Amino acid sequence: MNSHEHRPNGEARVPLVVEPGVSSDGPGLLQAFAPSSADSRFRMTPRRRAATRAALVLICALWAATTACEPQGRFVVVYASQDQVYAEPLLRRFTEKTGIEARAVYDSEAVKTVGMANRLIAERERPVADVFWGNEELRTRQLDQMGLFETTPGWASIGWRSRCLIHHTNLAPNPPLTLAELTNATWKGRVALAYPMFGSTATHFVVLRQRWGEEAWLRWCRALQANSPLLLEGNSQVAHAVAAGRAHIGLTDTDDYHEETNGRPHVARVPLSSEFLRLPNTVAIVKGGPHPLEARALQEFLRSPEVASLLVSQHALEGAEAESKTSPPIDWPRLVRELGPAMDQLGQVFLR
């Protein structure tokens, strides 16, 4: 346990000392149990009173010192871009199983993963977090390449979800089947997507840049922006916009699709075939984090089959296996190297 950890309230508790013979609501602590004053052997003389006070002070000092030396509660700090509604119950279960308190800091929907990545970079000299729980792979690889994570045991994948097109079956009964079709005039002003500078949408777009080539990708991005898409704060808002009829088509993630379509048969999913992208959760131990043993315990817990199965049952993930077998291969080192120029291009095209 690190020497800089403290009790939650920052102070050792000190017991109430009641002066003998003095109380606002009855006899004093010692007076209540004093023998009859007729027995002079037990009469409280000034000297005895002073000795009693000194003994009480000594007892209290010893009690406080003993309390201060008690083992402090173990905890681990986790920066999580996994949705709080899914992460919180699992972190509670971890605490119940291990006795280690998981103190989570969550990202906002608008800047998923990117906000946590920037925070980890800013804190790299004096890390606050012990564990980074990401909901997509690109930023984890970027931070790992920057040397922010421990190399042993290294970061790990946890199951996967995927990108998908969804459509309002009443408003768009014949939806587009490819991303290229989103630029058709038929869908002008009817397509919703998250602002592609953040989160899984950014990851998807820069992967498409690698697959299609920079020139073809830029043409598509410009044509998509010219088709007046509805740019929203996050993927859950995209799914909600389609469910509510504000948009006919949405580009989102499968977990948000399932959350918004529960009990809504008028929203359906279109598989993306070759444009398909799997998005694993990731868990990494922050290099130099203040609680390395607790961090290792949390990583092992999050990598367990139990956690993956629970996330799949809640539709936070689609599959429990750690590795993607059907998604076209991605040249990750190249993707990380080209991330800066790709994000600059996206920022120039998708202005808000």
Which pLDDT tens digit goes with each residue over 225-266?
999 999 999 999 999 999 999 999 999 999 999 988 876 889
Assess whether 284 and 267 both reside in one domain.
Answer: no
- For the chain, percent of residues with pLDDT exceeding 90: 65
Give Cα separations from 249 to 108, 220, 229, 289, 311 (angstroms). Answer: 24, 17, 10, 43, 26
Q: Are residues 319 and 257 in the same domain?
A: no
pLDDT for residue 30:
30
Q: Which residues pair with 132 in a beta bridge?
A: 79, 284
Radius of gyration of the chain (CA): 30
What would the pLDDT profile of 282-316 be if each residue is shown by its tens digit?
999 999 999 999 999 999 999 999 999 999 999 99
Same domain, 250 and 234: yes
Expressed as residue numbers, the domain containing 33 is 12-70
Summarize the confidence of residues 127-145 as an average pLDDT.
95
Q: How far, CA to CA in Å, does 229 sit from each of 214, 238, 294? A: 21, 11, 45
Judge residue 340's burial from the number of C-beta atoms within 10 Å of its C-beta, 0-12 exposed, 13-18 middle, 19 or more buried.
Answer: exposed
The angle subtended at Cα 217 by Cα 227 and Cα 257, nearest 5°, is 65
Is the per-residue pLDDT at 74 higher than 50?
yes
Q: How far apart are CA 194 and CA 202, in angstroms?
A: 9
Contact between 123 and 129 under an 8 Å Cβ cutoff? The reply is yes
Alpha helix (H) residue ranges in the chain: 46-68, 84-98, 114-122, 138-145, 199-212, 214-226, 235-243, 254-261, 292-302, 305-313, 332-337, 339-349
For 10-24, 70-84, 281-295, 324-338, which range has the lowest pLDDT when averaged over its residues? 10-24
**End position of a domain, from candidates 70, 85, 108:** 70
Per-residue pLDDT, 58: 52
Tell me, yes or no, whether 131 and 109 share the same domain: yes
Q: Is 296 found in the same domain as 155? A: yes
Mark whether 89 and 18 lie in a shared domain.
no
Residue 331 lies in a domain: no
Q: In the 3-class helix/strand/coil scheme, how is 70-82 assigned residue by residue?
A: CCCCCEEEEEECC
Inside any domain, residue 349: no
CA-nearest of 298, 280, 282 to 143 is 282
**Confidence class for position 1, pLDDT limits 50, 70, 90:** very low
Q: Which residue has the tokens 């992967």?
A: 207
CB 272 within 8 Å of CB 110: no
Quick one: 221 and 306 in the same domain? no
> Does some domain include residue 107?
yes
State residue 265's pLDDT score: 86
Q: Are residues 132 and 264 in the same domain?
A: no
Q: Are residues 51 and 186 in the same domain?
A: no
Q: How confident is the model at residue 33 (pLDDT cuts 50, 70, 90)?
A: very low
Q: Is the distance from CB of 216 to CB of 141 less than 8 angstroms?
A: no
Domain boundary among 35, 54, 70: 70
Same domain, 100 and 245: no
Residue 333 lies in a domain: no
CATH number of the domain enclosing 256: 3.40.190.10
Question: Do 173 and 262 belong together in one domain?
Answer: yes
Give yes or no for residue 65 having a pLDDT over 50: no
CA atoms within 13 A on the CB side of 144: 23
Who has greater pLDDT, 326 or 301? 301
For 315, half-sphere exposure in the C-beta direction (CA atoms, 13 angstrom radius) is 10
Q: Is 198 exposed, middle or buried (0-12, 13-18, 19+ CB in 10 A)?
A: buried
Flag whether 193 is in a domain: yes
Distance CA 131, CA 135 (A): 13
For the segment 50-76, the average pLDDT, to the nearest whole number, is 55
Number of domains forming the structure of the chain: 3
Residues 206 and 123 in one domain: no
pLDDT of residue 287: 97
Answer whether residue 320 is part of any domain.
yes
